Structure 1
Amino acid sequence: MSKGVLTIETDYSDDDFKVKWIEIEKIISTQDFLVTLKNGNRIKASEINHKENSDEIILKEDNFATTVIKVDDIVFIRQIKKDFISRLDASLSFGFNFTKSKNLKQLTVRSTLGYTTNFWSLDGSYNSVRNNQDQSDEIHRTDANVSFNYFLKKDRFVLFSSEFLTNNEQPLDLRLTHKAGYGKYIIHNNRMYLGTGGGIASNNENYFNNADDRKSGELFGLIEVNMFDYENISLLSNLTIYPSLTEKKRWRTNFKIDLKYDLLLDFFIKLGLTYNYDNKPVEGAAYDDYILQTTFGWEL
């Protein structure tokens, strides 16, 4: 069960059954599961039973201990399997434009990839736009990131991540940012989660126009919201602010938002916006850059 939806796979059906978690009448299973609660606790359960005539569920653990919890206090259930695919989440979407005038061609890609185990997760994303037309230089913008989260008690986590950015507007040949920090989920339920965190970062920048490359130490603070149980619409957004430790009065901002509408057979339409701002860019460069993408894709 994830994002408020319980998925049941059977041998006799081509498609999985999906029901809203808070609307289930009764659930019984003797599989091994990882269960996450609203308070951030994670329980490895060998058996799940519904308490008779009640909205409570009994979780039996490997050590024969039991935990009784209300249905709406459970925010995540994953069957514990050893195979790779069962722990994988991915999405890939594309958009393409072509016009006869000046032979304009534009390709846009927006993608995510995630792998979750019992107590840690590894996530990544890749977003890119490339624009070619006659009698004009190529325009491109690419951003990517990979992050590792280790989950602690009470909905806290430790995070490590790396971010990559290149664009013509600023004009960045490469911006590589490494981060280490600590965070906590403020809201974590069957409709949404809201998390925040902060830490330290190192920032390395190379430029196209032979400007002096820059290296700096930074602090960072972030906030992320994920809203998912709203019919066929979901929203994921995050904001990160980087005040510099080594460059006086310099600060940067990264903002991202994805609005997704689910279609049949795991296809979707996505509207995504990515924006970054630097209050002290190199000479001749813009203060900010952004990308707005409309794509069609499929998710695992």
Structure 2
Amino acid sequence: MKIITLLTLSLLFILQLSSAQIDSVRFTNGQLLVGEIKSMEKGVLVIETDYSDSDFEAEWKKVIWIRTQSNFMVDLEGGEEYFSNIYSINDSICKVTTPMGLVELMEPSDIVYLKPYDDKFKDRFSAFIDLSYEMTKAKNLKRFTTRSGLGYQAEKWNSNFTISSLMTSQDDAENIRRTESELNTRYVMKNWYSIVTFSTLSNSEQQLNLRFNTQLGMARYLHRTNKTYWGIVLGANRNVEKYYDSSSDRQTWEGYFTMELNLYDVEDFTLLFSSSIYGGITEQGRWRSDTKLDIKYDLPLDFYIKFGATLNYDNHPIEGVSTTDYIIQTGFGWEW
């Protein structure tokens, strides 16, 4: 009876080992970490182990040797993308295998993104939310801002949705309402990717009831490493504007150019800057610009503090409306 029990327990143990994903990583200081790699993005490796209640996070630039059991989405600095396991030959060279059976050699530092290929559906999502509220006795000023987002990462494409709003009220002044949202989907093709974007803007300061943009463009990474990426987008935009005064409504086609810069290996700081310029095609002589800056500082337990600024410019606004509008937001938030 004891022999049967022992055999049963041994079989269960073997089955558990065979079903568990075992990945190994060695660092410049010689430490070997064994567990399940959850991701590597923006220069940070996340790995889960059996002997820790929470996931380990480590700097990818300190990894010299890696071996994975299952397949990963592997992105390189040069824009190449593979779906393969990773096998280090020595402390400086590792290999991946292409679907055609070809072996590609690289250094760990060449890898800029890792994600398990067989992730569960729910694990492909990411989200964040932050809130800010201000109240002063002077003129009974009240100000409330929100920012939130949801993202999904698939094998060859990703999609992100963000929305932000501002509501301000005070005595002897009109209420201010501003809501902005954006949904974009990207399909990656080496260093190039196509992008489709739908965005909306409602802004009482510009007497804008709704601006709806539909954009189609091609983008390219000019520089992409484990510390930063810098990219540009060139495309066309369908701009539909509905104002409080319906006689001022517009429908135009525009060409647009966007530049985006992201820095994410500056201690606990992250910086994102983007600027888009729209030139009129059907309404010649008109041009607009949207510029955004986000700075985030990470706190323990996935909390953070954030500063954001947005500037909108239109050289041909409707009568009685300023050419510029801006919003500055500070807040405290949490992400997962």
Range class of TM-score, shorter chain:
over 0.9
Match for residue 270 of structure 2 among 234, 246, 251: 234
1:82-139 residue CA offsets vs partner (Å, 9 max, x unmatched): 4223212222111111223443321111223211111101012111110123443321
Q: Does 2:308 align with 1:272?
A: yes
Identity %, equivalent residues? 37
* 1:211/1:289 CA distance change after superposition, 3 Å: farther
AA of the residue aligned to 1:265: L
Q: Does 2:118 align with 1:84?
A: no
Q: Does 2:70 align with 1:34?
A: no
Structure 2 spans left out of the alignment, 5+ residues? 1-39
Contact 1:127/1:142, CA 8 A, preserved across alignment: yes
Contact 2:210/2:242, CA 8 A, preserved across alignment: yes
AA of the residue aligned to 2:82: I
- Distance in 1 (alpha carbons) for counterparts of 2:165 and 2:58: 35
1:1-300 pair list within 5 angstroms? 1-45=40-84, 47-52=85-90, 54-61=91-98, 64-153=101-190, 155-300=191-336
1:46-88 residue CA offsets vs partner (Å, 9 max, x unmatched): x222222x31212234554322111111100001234223212
- Distance in 2 (alpha carbons) for counterparts of 1:98 and 1:84: 42
- Distance in 1 (alpha carbons) for counterparts of 2:125 and 2:269: 21
Q: Following superposition, which runs of at least 4 residues in structure 1 exceed 6 angstroms of deviation?
A: none
- Distance in 2 (alpha carbons) for counterparts of 1:63 and 1:203: 44
- Distance in 2 (alpha carbons) for counterparts of 1:281 and 1:211: 13
Q: 3-state DSSP class of the match of 1:131?
A: strand
- Distance in 2 (alpha carbons) for counterparts of 1:216 and 1:179: 12
Q: Which structure features the higher share of helix residues?
A: 2
* 1:283/1:22 CA distance change after superposition, 3 Å: same
Contact 1:28/1:48, CA 8 A, preserved across alignment: yes
Taking only aligned residues, the RMSD between alpha carbons, in angstroms, comes to 1.4
Higher mean C-alpha displacement, 228-237 vs 111-120: 111-120
1:237-282 residue CA offsets vs partner (Å, 9 max, x unmatched): 1111000001120000011110000000111000000111000000
1:209-244 residue CA offsets vs partner (Å, 9 max, x unmatched): 444210001000111011101100000111110000
Contact 1:211/1:282, CA 8 A, preserved across alignment: no
| Residue 23 of structure 1, CA deviation | 0.3
Size of the aligned set, in residue pairs, is 297
| Residue 296 of structure 1, CA deviation | 0.5
AA of the residue aligned to 1:57: C
- Of structures 1 and 2, the one with the larger relative CO (CA 8 A, separation 6+) is 1
Contact 1:4/1:229, CA 8 A, preserved across alignment: yes
Contact 1:204/1:215, CA 8 A, preserved across alignment: yes
Structure 1 spans left out of the alignment, 5+ residues? none
**Larger Rg, first or second structure (1 or 2):** 2
Contact 1:10/1:16, CA 8 A, preserved across alignment: yes
Contact 1:106/1:132, CA 8 A, preserved across alignment: yes
- Distance in 2 (alpha carbons) for counterparts of 1:132 and 1:10: 51
Contact 1:217/1:246, CA 8 A, preserved across alignment: yes
- Distance in 2 (alpha carbons) for counterparts of 1:21 and 1:82: 21
- Distance in 1 (alpha carbons) for counterparts of 2:183 and 2:133: 26
AA of the residue aligned to 2:178: R
Give the TM-score normalised by structure 1.
Answer: 0.95
Give the TM-score normalised by structure 2.
Answer: 0.85
